[in-house]
Copies of this chain bind each other. A is one copy, B any other.
Amino acid sequence: MSNLLRELSVELGERSYPIFIGQNLLGTCDLSRFVGGSQVMLVTNETVAPLYLESAKGCFPGKRIDTVVLPDGEKYKDWQTLNRIFDGLLERRHTRKTTLVALGGGVVGDMAGFAAACYQRGVPFIQIPTTLLSQVDSSVGGKTGINHPLGKNMIGAFHQPQAVLIDTGSLQTLPPREVSAGLAEVIKYGLIRDLDFLAWLEDRVDALVALDAGALAEAIYRSCACKAEVVALDEREGGLRAILNLGHTFGHAIETFAGYGNWLHGEAVGTGMIMAAELSALEGMISRADCDRITRLILSAGLPGKPPAGMTADDFMNLMAVDKKNVDGQLRLVLLRSLGDAVITSGASPENLALTFDRFCSPE
C-alpha cells in the first residue's frame, strides 16, 4: 500500500478496527482480508457509482461482488430505499457470511451499515467514505440508521465496521458546499477537545477550503483520532460521547425545519455550533471574544451563520423536544465550558436560551 499516509485503530476490544487514510487508495488497497466469506455486496449511489464503483471493486480481488446503486440524497434515507439493499441481498442469495461495503457519503454509510446490522440479524461491513463529512464523522463510531418522518436517525443500530478506507483523492470531485459541510465537523473536534487543533485550523482553513491535499489528510487524521478516542471511551453513548453532538441539537432542528436534504447536515451543525457558542457565552462559560473567534472560523469555512429565514424560536423548541439527547423531558445541550472543552448540561437557563433564539431567529 504505497499511498497509505496514515493508519489508526479504533480500540473497542473484540470490535476494534483499523482506519486507513491515504491518496488514491481506491483500487490499489487490498481489503479482501477483511471479508470473511466469498460474497461482497457493494452499496453506493447514483452520483458516486460512475466516479468510483469500478476502482472500489479493485479493493476486493477474488470475491464475488454484487452491487446496489441507491438514489442520492438525505431524503432517500428511509425504509423504502433501505429495503432495496435487502432486496438485492436476497435476490442474489447472499448468506449470513456476506460482507457489505458502503461506498459514498454519510447517507450511504448509515444505510449500508444499518442494512448490515439487520440483515439476517447482523453481517459484517466495510466503510469507504467518499465525502469529507463521512470521512471525519460517520465512518468512525458505528452509528447507523435511517430517518423517520417524525425525526432524524430515529431508527438504527450501533454496528462497527471491519475496516474503514479513506481516500483523500475522492475529495477532488466533491462540490464546495459539501467540503464546507465536512469542515463543520472538523472544527467541532477542535472545539470540544483539542485547542491546539483549533489553532491549527484557524491557520489552515483557507488551505482546507481550497482542497490542499496535505492539509486535508492531516485534518482528517486528527479528526478521526479525536473521534476514535471519544468513541473508545464511550462506545454506546452513555456519557462522554454525547459531546460529539456539539451543535447537533440546534442543527437537527434546522435540518427538520428546512426539510431533509435542503440544508446539508454539516451546514446545520455549523450554524448550530455558532448558536451553542452564543449560549455558552450568555451562560458565562466562554468569553465574548472566544464566541466571536468560533463564529469567525465557522464562517471562514464557508458555512451559514444563521438558521433558515422564517424559522422561529417556537420552531426550534418544538423540533428540539423530540431530539434523542433529551432524557425524560429535560432538554440537554452540549455547551463549551471553555474553548477546547465541551460539557453536556441540562442546566442552561430558559432565559439565555430564549435570548439565543432572539439573536438568530426570525420573529414569530
Task: State the A residues within 8 Å of B (CB).
Answer: 37-39, 79, 83, 86-87, 90-91, 93, 95-97, 117-122, 143-145, 148, 150-151, 153-158, 236, 321-322, 324, 326-329
7 other A-B residue contacts (CB within 8 Å) besides A119-B155, A121-B157? A79-B79, A86-B148, A95-B326, A121-B143, A121-B153, A122-B157, A122-B158
Chain A interface secondary structure, helix, strand, loop or mixed?
A: mixed
Which residues on B sit within 8 Å (CB–CB) of A150? 87, 90-91
Contact (Cβ within 8 A) A83 B93: no
Of all chain B residues, the one with the shortest Cβ separation from A146 is B118
A157 and B118 contacting across the interface, CB-CB below 8 Å: yes
Q: A156-B121, A157-B118, A158-B122 are in contact. Are A148 and B90 (CB under 8 A)?
A: yes
Q: Closest residue to A117 on the B side, CB-wise? A: B157
Please, which residues of chain B bring their CB within 8 A of the CB of A153?
A: 121
Cβ of B90 and Cβ of A328 under 8 Å apart? Answer: no
Q: 8 closest Cβ contacts across the A-B interface?
A: A90-B150, A121-B156, A118-B155, A120-B324, A95-B326, A37-B328, A97-B327, A97-B328
Can you name the residue of chain B whose Cβ is closest to the Cβ of A91? B150
* Distance of A362 Cα from B151 Cα, bound (Å): 51
User: Given A120-B324, A150-B91, A326-B95: A157 and B155 within 8 A (CB)?
Assistant: no
| Cα A121 to Cα B144 with chains together (Å) | 8
A37, A39, A122, A154 pick with most chain B CB within 10 angstroms: A154
Complex: chain B residue closest to A120, CB-CB:
B324
Closest residue of chain B to A121 (Cβ to Cβ) is B156
Query: A93: which B residues are within 8 A, CB to CB?
Result: 321-322
Whether A145 pairs with B121 at a CB distance below 8 angstroms is yes
**Please, which residues of chain B bring their CB within 8 A of the CB of A329?**
95
Contacts of A324 in B (CB 8 A): 95-96, 120
Subset of 9 A-B contacts with CB under 8 Å: A90-B148, A90-B322, A95-B324, A121-B143, A121-B144, A122-B157, A122-B158, A122-B236, A157-B157
* A322 / chain B contacts, CB cutoff of 8 Å: 90, 93
Do the beta carbons of B326 and A118 come within 8 Å of each other? Answer: no
A85 to B118, CA, bound (A): 17
Least Cβ distance of A307 to chain B in Å?
Answer: 22
Name the CB-closest residue of B to A148.
Answer: B86
Cβ–Cβ < 8 Å partners of A155 in chain B: 86, 118-119
Residues of B within 8 Å of A38, CB to CB, are 328
Q: Is the CB of A119 within 8 A of B154?
A: yes
A83 touches B91 (CB 8 A): no
Could you tell me the distance in whole angstroms from the C-beta of A330 to the nearest C-beta in chain B? Answer: 9
Least CB distance, A279 to chain B, in whole angstroms: 22
**Residue pair A328, B39 in contact (C-beta under 8 Å):** yes
Q: Shortest beta-carbon distance, A79 to chain B, in Å? A: 6
Shortest Cβ gap from A320 to chain B (Å): 12
Interface centre among A95, A97, A117 (most CB of B within 10 A): A95
A258 and B322 alpha carbons, distance in the complex (Å): 43
State the CA gap A312–B97 with chains docked (Å): 29
